[in-house]
Amino acid sequence: MGTTFHGTPVSNPPSTIGDMNIYPYSSPIILTDEIFVRFGGQTDSSTPEQRAAAYLAAEKQATNHIGTLLLPTIVTRIFRWAGNGWISTDYGYVHRILSISLLYADENCQISEEVGCGRIMSSTFGYISVECVLSHCNCGISSSFPYQVQVSYEAGLPVGAATQGDFLAGLVIVAQINLNEMVFPAANESAGDVGVQSFSSLDYSEQRKSSSMKRTAFGSSARANKAAQLIENAVPIVRKAIVF
């Protein structure tokens, strides 16, 4: 069953995203030096700042790959009103709606804001219905249709999902690739860790099946593909079939 929200807007949510989808964290929220080393990461001569940048980049890439944030996070997003009563949130695994506000213009082009309500129709994929705002909730909306909808919602993997062993192992691989590019690029499969289909050195050569390698948010190398495999084994990724 869907989850319905009726209420007043939430003031000052902990993490805010405006009318653009910007990653809300400026430092790593999962990876630490202890986790990195425990799952096979090599710090070598890297600095703490380089490792923090590599960890944060890996977590951003994982967010892009699976389609949601790695921890439950409150985000506020402004959507264009499409007229169909549906919103496709930027992140899947939506846990709850905190507030919905509608902006609309009357016949004199005066902008007004009204408190709305909505329903989570698919928590995994992040589909929210705000049709009830216009038809059932009696929110004080005039005959004018809103032109923007501001939604505060909580989304992200459930607590503990991103700290599973296989998920962390995948994150560490990606962080190591990022760190190598800063400290020791030759340690990666190729410059920028681009996937290599054929390789030859002295008396040894190999050629991979082109179908076995795929492009991911982590890259297209063998190690990037392994990281994607580990992370996908830990949590189902969100692939939206419909974007409203």
- Per-residue model confidence (pLDDT) at position 184: 86
Q: What is the pLDDT of residues 182-236, one digit of tens each?
A: 988 777 765 545 444 544 444 554 555 454 567 788 988 889 999 999 999 999 9
79, 152 contact by CB (below 8 A): no
- Per-residue model confidence (pLDDT) at position 2: 43
C-alpha closest to that of 59 among 182, 216, 174, 223: 174
Question: pTM here?
Answer: 0.80
202: left (phi over 0), alpha (psi -120 to 50) or beta: left
Q: What is the pLDDT of residues 178-196, one digit of tens each?
A: 999 998 877 776 554 544 4
According to the 3-state scheme, what is the secondary structure of 16-68? CCCCCCCCCCCCCCCCCHHHHHHCCCCCCCCCHHHHHHHHHHHHHHHHHHHCC
DSSP the chain: --EEEESPPPSS-SS---SS-----SS-SS--HHHHHHTT---TT--HHHHHHHHHHHHHHHHHHHTS-SS-EEEEEEEE--SSSEEE-SSSSEEEEEEEEEEEE-TT--EEEEE-EEEEEETTTTEEE-HHHHHTS-----SSPEEEEEEEEEESPPTTGGGSHHHHHHHHHHHHHHHHHHH-GGGSSSGGG---SEEEETTEEEE--GGG---BTTBSSHHHHHHHHHHHHHS-----S---
Structural domain boundaries in the chain: 3-20+71-155, 55-69+160-234
Average pLDDT, the chain: 80
Q: What is the pLDDT of residues 139-183, one digit of tens each?
A: 555 555 678 888 999 999 999 999 999 999 999 999 999 999 998
Could you give phi then psi for residue 133, rounded to 5 degrees? -60, -40
Between 5 and 18, the higher pLDDT residue: 18
Q: What is the pLDDT of residues 87-137, one digit of tens each?
A: 899 999 999 999 988 887 767 777 777 777 888 999 999 999 886 555 545
Q: Flag whether pLDDT at 36 surpasses 80.
A: yes
- Per-residue model confidence (pLDDT) at position 221: 87
- Per-residue model confidence (pLDDT) at position 17: 52
- Per-residue model confidence (pLDDT) at position 3: 44
